[in-house]
């Protein structure tokens, strides 16, 4: 009888332990599925609105304007961050900080029109380089932005644009409308529809729900088995 009880004890304890371990593994998997993801990007500054081919800056000079835009919106590595709630953040660098003020960022719609002001926060400053790193929250990593500021030396507003591409990808800069063609504009479309490494936004929600429910069920089964066993032992 003692051997039978020992065998039963061992089976129950083993079952309970397995349930707890499996539940823990599923909960950990759910945490990983919802963990923040990062991807290296590059800023692609443009004097010309990449969605319309038009110049919105009063200077209306592509030769000078493109260089000016690249001095203001640095062609340096940027960072894409998708947090565990699916929110998309991009960090990029701007220059000529001491020579400009009233920096503003706006989101463009598919027709190239500014439709929403995008708040930003300064996450790092490099006084020696006269640059700052800004972080913005955007609807997607493919967002195209209108950037405007007041140039103190020029005494007027300056307007440029920026979008972001995977780091190392060759990206052309569009010319003004009369010189641009469909192929030049198409580079701003994500032809490959690349996803950030990891679980896509669409799949993340259902996956988390499934893993959470499965983990919860295993915990319940383990608890029920344990309670049933100990109640039988009292009898």
Q: pLDDT tens, 188-224?
A: 333 333 434 444 444 455 555 655 656 666 666 665 6
C-alpha 189/C-alpha 171 separation (Å) is: 11
> Which range, of 15-24, 125-134, 144-153, averages the lowest pLDDT?
15-24
How distant, in Å, are the alpha carbons of 32, 152, 153, 171, 235 from that of 164? 26, 27, 28, 10, 69
The span from the CA of 183 to the CA of 34, in Å, is 37
Pair (77, 182) in one structural domain: yes
- Read off the pLDDT of residues 47-61 as tens digits, 9 standing for 90 and up: 999 999 999 999 999
Count of the separate structural domains present in the chain: 2
Predicted TM-score (pTM) of the model is 0.61
Residue 194 domain flag: no
For residue 225, tell me if it sits in a domain.
Answer: yes
- Confidence (pLDDT) at 219: 65
For residues 53, 173, 45 and 63, what is the CA-based torsion angle, rounded to 10 degrees? -80
The β-bridge partners of 59 are none
Are residues 116 and 100 part of one domain?
A: yes
Residue 191 domain-assigned (yes or no): no
Q: Does residue 174 sit in the same domain as residue 83?
A: yes
CA–centroid distance for 193 within its chain: 15
> 120 and 148 in contact (C-beta within 8 Å)?
no
Asked, for residue 193, whether it belongs to a domain, the answer is: no
Q: Do 133 and 210 fall within a single domain?
A: no
Residue 37 clears pLDDT 90, i.e. is over it: no
Contacts (Cβ under 8 Å, ≥6 apart) of 177: 48, 52, 53, 54, 55
Does 137 reside within a domain?
yes
Instruction: Give the structural domain span for 7.
Output: 2-34+200-234
C-alpha to C-alpha distances, 69 to 131, 207, 231, nearest whole angstrom? 14, 42, 75
**29 and 43, same structural domain?**
no
pLDDT for position 33:
47
Distance CA 93, CA 74 (A): 6
pLDDT in tens, 138-196: 999 999 999 999 999 999 999 999 999 998 776 766 665 544 333 333 223 333 334 34
CATH number at residue 67: 2.60.40.1850
Enumerate the β-bridge partners of residue 147.
105, 160
């Amino acid at each position: 009888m003692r051997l039978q009880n020992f065998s039963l004890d061992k089976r129950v304890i083993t079952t309970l332990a397995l349930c707890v371990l499996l539940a823990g593994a599923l909960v950990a998997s759910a945490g990983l599925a919802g963990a923040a993801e990062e991807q290296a990007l590059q800023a692609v500054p443009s004097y010309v609105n990449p969605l319309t081919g038009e110049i919105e800056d009063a200077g209306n000079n592509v030769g000078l304007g493109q260089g000016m835009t690249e001095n203001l919106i640095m062609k340096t590595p940027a960072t894409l961050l998708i947090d565990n709630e699916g929110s998309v953040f991009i960090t990029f660098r701007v220059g000529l900080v001491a020579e400009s003020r009233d920096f503003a960022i706006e989101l463009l719609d598919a027709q190239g029109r500014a439709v929403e002001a995008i708040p930003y926060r300064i996450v790092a400053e490099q006084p020696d380089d006269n640059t700052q790193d800004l972080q913005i929250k955007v609807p997607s990593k493919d967002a195209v932005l209108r950037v405007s500021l007041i140039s103190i030396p020029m005494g007027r507003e300056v307007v440029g644009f920026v979008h972001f591409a995977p780091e190392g990808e060759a990206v052309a800069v569009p010319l003004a409308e009369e010189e641009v063609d469909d192929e030049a504009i198409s580079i701003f479309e994500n032809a490959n529809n690349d996803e950030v490494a990891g679980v896509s936004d669409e799949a993340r929600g259902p996956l988390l729900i499934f893993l959470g429910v499965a983990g919860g069920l295993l915990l319940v089964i383990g608890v029920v088995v344990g309670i049933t066993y100990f109640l039988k032992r009292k009898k």
